[in-house]
Structure 1
């Protein structure tokens, strides 16, 4: 079983895939476990960038470009601005070292690590026993040009509605946060 793993890691593309996959999963785990919101944003940015690397390996350069431009760039900066525009208040008793969640943390971490190891073992076994069909993938010529034609000719109305929807959602979140802040 481990011979397949060694054989798969013998070429550079598999090593890059492993690096990007570990960065994507690690960034997601760090985002969930981070205590400060800024660290969460940085962790999710690492995940977005590593996903862009995986897209490049799949020869989907346009999707990788959009991933970096929209998610790693715009969403991350938008989240940082959202954090900067809203004030966060600590509730009383939430000082460092206090609170009920700190007492359960070691047991919680142990259960989560055990579950992760079991899941990793099951996935590793399933992937080693699976047979994947061979074949070649033809990404086509001028893929970004065809996507651009579809996006700006056929699907231009949904594209514009989505941009307005995202802007309204962000403004609504800021207004709700400000209203809650004023009530306190």
Structure 2
């Protein structure tokens, strides 16, 4: 018989997995771009829940902050700043059968790779790195690349704002 804690963890895992899968289907099938973005947020938060379930709290935090917060916010801003009227006359192309074949081929390769790969060892040896060590390492040895990455993101943000401002001024003239 399964213990209560084990049963609870199985139920939590399946609920998180179903949430991620259903939300991912919502991302792909939604005709409303904003609803697809909200479904993407649900996928990313569900994956963060799976990280918490696997006792990888740092990965869950990174998943929520970077993907759940930043990436979804950028996508929402892109949706808001895009003139959707420019895309209203797009027609379906004849590339759909090729895209379906490419997806089937990729899925087949994935299944063959999974089936033909050797099984994981019974016990994995994990070396845990503390968050204190990671923080010190990131802000001492990798301080300059970290600051350069933040500078690149800041320049991209300023460029996006200037592009939108310029295009809005052109529309008003």
Q: Same fold (TM over 0.5)?
A: yes
1:156 maps onto 2:143 in alignment:
yes
Distance 1:123 1:17 in 2: 23
1:179 Cα shift?
Answer: 3.2
| 8 Å Cα contact 1:27-1:43 kept in structure 2 | yes
| 8 Å Cα contact 1:45-1:72 kept in structure 2 | yes
Distance 1:178 1:36 in 2: 26
What TM-score, normalized by structure 2, do the two folds share? 0.67
The equivalent position to 1:67 in structure 2, one of 51, 63, 84, is 63
1:130 Cα shift?
Answer: 5.5
The count of residues paired between Structure 1 and Structure 2 equals 165
The equivalent position to 1:27 in structure 2, one of 10, 23, 29, is 23
The equivalent position to 2:48 in structure 1, one of 46, 52, 61, is 52
Q: Which runs of 5+ in 1 are unaligned?
A: 1-9
Structure 1 residues 161, 53: CA separation in 2 closer, same or farther (over 3 Å shift)? same
Q: Which runs of 5+ in 2 are unaligned?
A: 1-5
In angstroms, what is the RMSD of aligned CA positions?
4.0
1:134 maps onto 2:122 in alignment:
yes
- 1:130-159 Cα shifts (integer Å, max 9, x gaps): 633110444537x21121111122212212
| 8 Å Cα contact 1:52-1:64 kept in structure 2 | yes
1:78 Cα shift?
Answer: 3.9
Report SS of the residue matched to 2:70.
Answer: helix
| 8 Å Cα contact 1:82-1:174 kept in structure 2 | no
Bigger relative CO (Cα 8 Å, ≥ 6 apart): 1
1:174 maps onto 2:161 in alignment:
yes
What TM-score, normalized by structure 1, do the two folds share? 0.63
Report SS of the residue matched to 1:90.
Answer: helix
Distance 2:11 2:112 in 1: 17
1:100 maps onto 2:98 in alignment:
no
